[in-house]
Protein backbone atom coordinates (compact mmCIF):
# COMPACT_ATOMS: atom_id res chain seq x y z
CA UNK A 1 0.00 0.00 0.00
CA UNK A 2 1.46 3.39 -0.96
CA UNK A 3 1.86 6.11 1.68
CA UNK A 4 -0.91 8.36 0.30
CA UNK A 5 -3.56 5.64 0.38
CA UNK A 6 -2.46 4.71 3.90
CA UNK A 7 -3.00 8.32 5.00
CA UNK A 8 -6.32 8.67 3.28
CA UNK A 9 -7.61 5.61 5.15
CA UNK A 10 -6.96 7.28 8.49
CA UNK A 11 -10.21 8.40 10.10
CA UNK A 12 -8.41 9.66 13.17
CA UNK A 13 -6.44 12.78 12.26
CA UNK A 14 -4.68 13.81 15.44
CA UNK A 15 -3.59 12.04 18.61
CA UNK A 16 -2.49 13.57 21.90
CA UNK A 17 0.21 11.84 23.92
CA UNK A 18 -0.82 13.08 27.35
CA UNK A 19 -4.23 14.49 28.20
CA UNK A 20 -3.55 17.15 30.83
CA UNK A 21 -4.20 20.87 30.87
CA UNK A 22 -2.48 21.81 27.60
CA UNK A 23 -3.78 18.83 25.63
CA UNK A 24 -7.29 19.53 26.98
CA UNK A 25 -7.06 23.18 25.93
CA UNK A 26 -5.86 22.20 22.45
CA UNK A 27 -8.53 19.49 22.02
CA UNK A 28 -11.25 21.95 23.05
CA UNK A 29 -9.93 24.59 20.63
CA UNK A 30 -9.72 22.20 17.70
CA UNK A 31 -13.31 21.02 18.25
CA UNK A 32 -14.77 24.50 18.89
CA UNK A 33 -13.01 25.94 15.82
CA UNK A 34 -14.06 22.95 13.65
CA UNK A 35 -10.47 22.08 12.72
CA UNK A 36 -11.14 18.45 13.67
CA UNK A 37 -14.33 16.73 14.80
CA UNK A 38 -14.27 14.72 18.03
CA UNK A 39 -14.20 11.51 15.98
CA UNK A 40 -10.96 12.66 14.38
CA UNK A 41 -9.18 13.18 17.72
CA UNK A 42 -7.77 10.59 20.15
CA UNK A 43 -5.62 10.95 23.26
CA UNK A 44 -3.90 8.79 25.83
CA UNK A 45 -3.11 8.98 29.52
CA UNK A 46 -1.93 6.29 31.93
CA UNK A 47 -4.48 6.93 34.69
CA UNK A 48 -8.13 5.80 34.52
CA UNK A 49 -9.39 9.02 36.07
CA UNK A 50 -7.80 11.22 33.39
CA UNK A 51 -9.09 8.98 30.61
CA UNK A 52 -12.64 9.05 32.02
CA UNK A 53 -12.55 12.82 32.59
CA UNK A 54 -11.24 13.69 29.12
CA UNK A 55 -13.57 11.24 27.34
CA UNK A 56 -16.51 12.72 29.26
CA UNK A 57 -15.48 16.33 28.69
CA UNK A 58 -14.68 16.24 24.95
CA UNK A 59 -16.34 13.03 23.72
CA UNK A 60 -13.11 11.70 22.22
CA UNK A 61 -11.77 8.13 22.31
CA UNK A 62 -9.10 7.60 24.96
CA UNK A 63 -6.29 5.06 25.10
CA UNK A 64 -3.88 4.05 27.82
CA UNK A 65 -0.60 4.18 25.88
CA UNK A 66 1.04 6.33 23.25
CA UNK A 67 1.77 3.24 21.13
CA UNK A 68 -1.97 2.68 20.69
CA UNK A 69 -2.64 6.19 19.42
CA UNK A 70 0.44 6.13 17.16
CA UNK A 71 -1.37 3.34 15.28
CA UNK A 72 -4.50 5.49 14.94
CA UNK A 73 -3.19 8.96 14.04
CA UNK A 74 -0.44 10.32 11.84
CA UNK A 75 -0.32 13.70 13.57
CA UNK A 76 0.78 13.32 17.20
CA UNK A 77 1.02 16.06 19.81
CA UNK A 78 3.59 15.31 22.49
CA UNK A 79 1.92 16.83 25.56
CA UNK A 80 3.49 15.05 28.54
CA UNK A 81 5.71 16.79 31.09
CA UNK A 82 9.32 17.07 29.84
CA UNK A 83 10.52 14.65 32.54
CA UNK A 84 8.20 11.95 31.12
CA UNK A 85 9.49 12.22 27.54
CA UNK A 86 12.49 9.83 27.91
CA UNK A 87 10.30 7.13 29.51
CA UNK A 88 7.99 7.12 26.50
CA UNK A 89 10.80 6.16 24.16
CA UNK A 90 13.23 4.35 26.44
CA UNK A 91 10.89 2.37 28.74
CA UNK A 92 7.65 2.15 26.70
CA UNK A 93 9.65 1.82 23.44
CA UNK A 94 7.30 4.10 21.52
CA UNK A 95 8.31 3.88 17.85
CA UNK A 96 7.23 6.41 15.25
CA UNK A 97 7.77 6.30 11.50
CA UNK A 98 7.91 8.64 8.51
CA UNK A 99 4.10 8.78 8.41
CA UNK A 100 4.11 10.61 11.76
CA UNK A 101 4.24 14.35 12.24
CA UNK A 102 5.32 14.82 15.87
CA UNK A 103 4.32 18.22 17.28
CA UNK A 104 6.10 18.57 20.60
CA UNK A 105 4.92 21.11 23.18
CA UNK A 106 7.23 19.69 25.88
CA UNK A 107 9.05 22.73 27.24
CA UNK A 108 12.84 22.63 26.84
CA UNK A 109 13.01 19.33 24.94
CA UNK A 110 15.17 20.11 21.92
CA UNK A 111 14.58 18.98 18.35
CA UNK A 112 17.93 17.17 18.47
CA UNK A 113 16.72 15.11 21.47
CA UNK A 114 13.39 14.33 19.81
CA UNK A 115 15.18 13.39 16.61
CA UNK A 116 17.35 10.90 18.52
CA UNK A 117 14.13 9.13 19.61
CA UNK A 118 12.25 9.31 16.29
CA UNK A 119 14.78 9.83 13.48
CA UNK A 120 12.31 8.92 10.73
CA UNK A 121 9.44 11.19 11.81
CA UNK A 122 8.75 14.82 10.92
CA UNK A 123 9.22 17.04 13.96
CA UNK A 124 7.83 20.47 14.84
CA UNK A 125 8.61 21.99 18.24
CA UNK A 126 6.13 24.41 19.81
CA UNK A 127 6.09 26.71 22.82
CA UNK A 128 2.43 27.50 23.51
CA UNK A 129 1.06 29.40 26.51
CA UNK A 130 -1.78 28.51 28.81
CA UNK A 131 -4.13 31.16 27.36
CA UNK A 132 -4.81 28.45 24.71
CA UNK A 133 -7.47 27.44 27.24
CA UNK A 134 -9.59 30.43 26.19
CA UNK A 135 -8.43 30.29 22.55
CA UNK A 136 -6.28 33.39 23.05
CA UNK A 137 -2.94 31.59 23.22
CA UNK A 138 0.36 32.81 21.82
CA UNK A 139 2.64 30.12 20.39
CA UNK A 140 6.06 30.07 18.80
CA UNK A 141 6.77 27.07 16.57
CA UNK A 142 9.92 25.72 14.94
CA UNK A 143 10.46 23.59 11.84
CA UNK A 144 12.34 20.50 12.93
CA UNK A 145 13.93 17.50 11.30
CA UNK A 146 12.16 16.17 8.19
CA UNK A 147 9.22 18.59 8.59
CA UNK A 148 7.82 19.83 5.27
CA UNK A 149 6.20 23.14 4.34
CA UNK A 150 2.86 21.28 4.34
CA UNK A 151 3.56 20.18 7.93
CA UNK A 152 4.29 23.78 8.89
CA UNK A 153 0.95 24.85 7.38
CA UNK A 154 -0.80 22.07 9.31
CA UNK A 155 0.82 23.19 12.56
CA UNK A 156 -0.02 26.81 11.84
CA UNK A 157 -3.67 25.87 11.27
CA UNK A 158 -3.77 23.93 14.55
CA UNK A 159 -2.06 26.64 16.60
CA UNK A 160 -3.99 29.49 14.96
CA UNK A 161 -7.20 27.83 16.15
CA UNK A 162 -5.88 28.41 19.66
CA UNK A 163 -4.73 32.01 19.24
CA UNK A 164 -1.69 33.62 17.65
CA UNK A 165 0.99 31.40 16.05
CA UNK A 166 4.39 32.69 15.00
CA UNK A 167 7.15 30.67 13.30
CA UNK A 168 10.52 31.21 14.97
CA UNK A 169 13.99 29.66 15.06
CA UNK A 170 14.75 27.07 17.74
CA UNK A 171 17.33 29.42 19.30
CA UNK A 172 14.48 31.92 19.86
CA UNK A 173 12.31 29.55 21.91
CA UNK A 174 13.83 30.59 25.25
CA UNK A 175 12.91 34.18 24.45
CA UNK A 176 9.40 33.05 23.43
CA UNK A 177 9.16 31.26 26.80
CA UNK A 178 9.86 34.55 28.61
CA UNK A 179 7.79 36.80 26.37
CA UNK A 180 4.61 34.73 25.96
CA UNK A 181 5.04 31.44 27.91
CA UNK A 182 5.58 33.05 31.32
CA UNK A 183 4.21 36.56 30.82
CA UNK A 184 0.55 35.69 31.57
CA UNK A 185 1.62 35.36 35.23
CA UNK A 186 3.12 38.86 35.17
CA UNK A 187 -0.01 40.23 33.55
CA UNK A 188 -2.19 38.54 36.22
CA UNK A 189 -0.05 40.30 38.84
CA UNK A 190 -0.63 43.61 37.09
CA UNK A 191 -4.38 42.96 36.93
CA UNK A 192 -4.44 42.06 40.62
CA UNK A 193 -2.54 45.22 41.55
CA UNK A 194 -4.78 47.47 39.44
CA UNK A 195 -7.84 45.76 40.94
CA UNK A 196 -6.44 46.28 44.46
CA UNK A 197 -6.27 50.00 43.73
CA UNK A 198 -9.87 49.90 42.54
CA UNK A 199 -10.95 48.17 45.76
CA UNK A 200 -9.05 50.77 47.79
CA UNK A 201 -11.03 53.43 45.93
CA UNK A 202 -14.34 51.72 46.79
CA UNK A 203 -15.10 49.37 43.84
CA UNK A 204 -16.12 45.80 44.59
CA UNK A 205 -13.38 43.20 44.00
CA UNK A 206 -15.41 41.58 41.19
CA UNK A 207 -16.04 44.83 39.33
CA UNK A 208 -12.46 45.96 39.79
CA UNK A 209 -10.95 42.68 38.52
CA UNK A 210 -13.34 42.60 35.54
CA UNK A 211 -12.55 46.19 34.55
CA UNK A 212 -8.80 45.64 34.89
CA UNK A 213 -8.87 42.34 32.95
CA UNK A 214 -11.00 43.76 30.12
CA UNK A 215 -8.63 46.73 29.92
CA UNK A 216 -5.75 44.26 29.37
CA UNK A 217 -7.68 42.46 26.63
CA UNK A 218 -8.55 45.79 25.01
CA UNK A 219 -4.98 47.10 25.24
CA UNK A 220 -3.63 43.88 23.67
CA UNK A 221 -6.17 44.10 20.84
CA UNK A 222 -5.34 47.76 20.25
CA UNK A 223 -1.73 46.79 19.66
CA UNK A 224 -2.56 43.82 17.43
CA UNK A 225 -5.36 45.48 15.45
CA UNK A 226 -4.65 49.24 15.28
CA UNK A 227 -1.26 48.95 13.60
CA UNK A 228 0.06 51.45 16.17
CA UNK A 229 3.11 50.92 18.36
CA UNK A 230 2.85 50.77 22.19
CA UNK A 231 4.61 54.17 22.25
CA UNK A 232 2.02 55.77 19.95
CA UNK A 233 -0.84 54.27 21.95
CA UNK A 234 0.62 55.51 25.26
CA UNK A 235 0.88 59.02 23.76
CA UNK A 236 -2.69 58.70 22.53
CA UNK A 237 -4.13 58.14 26.01
CA UNK A 238 -1.95 60.66 27.85
CA UNK A 239 -3.79 63.97 27.47
CA UNK A 240 -1.69 66.96 28.54
CA UNK A 241 -2.23 67.60 32.26
CA UNK A 242 -4.62 64.64 32.42
CA UNK A 243 -5.09 61.63 34.70
CA UNK A 244 -3.18 58.99 32.71
CA UNK A 245 0.12 60.89 32.43
CA UNK A 246 0.08 61.20 36.25
CA UNK A 247 0.03 57.40 36.57
CA UNK A 248 2.54 56.88 33.73
CA UNK A 249 4.89 59.29 35.51
CA UNK A 250 4.68 57.23 38.74
CA UNK A 251 5.48 54.00 36.82
CA UNK A 252 8.45 55.67 35.09
CA UNK A 253 9.82 57.08 38.35
CA UNK A 254 9.64 53.59 39.90
CA UNK A 255 11.44 51.81 37.06
CA UNK A 256 8.36 49.83 36.05
CA UNK A 257 9.72 49.02 32.60
CA UNK A 258 13.16 47.88 33.79
CA UNK A 259 11.54 45.67 36.48
CA UNK A 260 9.41 44.00 33.79
CA UNK A 261 12.47 43.54 31.54
CA UNK A 262 14.33 41.95 34.49
CA UNK A 263 11.39 39.57 35.12
CA UNK A 264 11.22 38.43 31.48
CA UNK A 265 15.02 38.07 31.38
CA UNK A 266 14.94 35.92 34.54
CA UNK A 267 12.39 33.64 32.89
CA UNK A 268 14.49 33.40 29.71
CA UNK A 269 17.60 32.60 31.78
CA UNK A 270 15.74 29.84 33.63
CA UNK A 271 14.46 28.41 30.34
CA UNK A 272 18.03 28.25 29.03
CA UNK A 273 19.17 26.49 32.24
CA UNK A 274 16.31 23.98 32.06
CA UNK A 275 17.02 23.31 28.38
CA UNK A 276 20.52 22.13 29.29
CA UNK A 277 19.09 19.16 31.18
CA UNK A 278 16.70 18.03 28.40
* Interface residue list for ligand NAP (CB under 6 A): 17-23, 44-47, 50, 66, 79-82, 84, 87-88, 105-107, 127-130, 181
- Backbone phi, then psi, for 42, in 5-degree steps? -130, 160
Alpha helix ranges (H) inside the chain: 3-9, 21-32, 48-58, 66-72, 85-90, 111-117, 149-160, 173-176, 183-200, 205-226, 230-237, 243-253, 256-275
Q: Roughly what angle, to the nearest 10 degrees, separates helices 183-200 and 205-226?
A: 130
Q: Which is nearer to ligand NAP, 24 or 198 (CB)?
A: 24
Query: Considering the complex, what minimum distance in angstroms separates the CB of residue 190 from ligand NAP?
Result: 18
Closer Cβ to ligand NAP, 33 or 53, answer by number:
53
DSSP 162: T
Least distance (Å) between residue 85 CB and ligand NAP = 8
User: Least distance to ligand NAP from the beta carbon of 206, Å?
Assistant: 25
CB of 104 to ligand NAP, least distance (A): 8
Least CB distance to ligand NAP at residue 75 (A) = 16
**Cβ closer to ligand NAP: 33 or 84?**
84
**Which CB atom, from 18 or from 275, has the smaller least distance to ligand NAP?**
18
Instruction: Tell me the residue length of the chain.
Output: 278
Structural element, H or E, at residue 138: strand 137-143
Nearer to ligand NAP, 46 or 186 (CB): 46
Amino acid sequence: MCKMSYWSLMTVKIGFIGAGRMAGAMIKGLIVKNIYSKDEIVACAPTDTTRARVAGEYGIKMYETAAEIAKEADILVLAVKPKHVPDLFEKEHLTLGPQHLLISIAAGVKIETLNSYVPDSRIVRVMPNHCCMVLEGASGYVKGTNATEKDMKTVNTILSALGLAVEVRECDLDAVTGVSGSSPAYIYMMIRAIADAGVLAGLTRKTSVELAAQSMIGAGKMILESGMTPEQLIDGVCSPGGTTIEGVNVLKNNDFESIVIDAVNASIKRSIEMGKTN
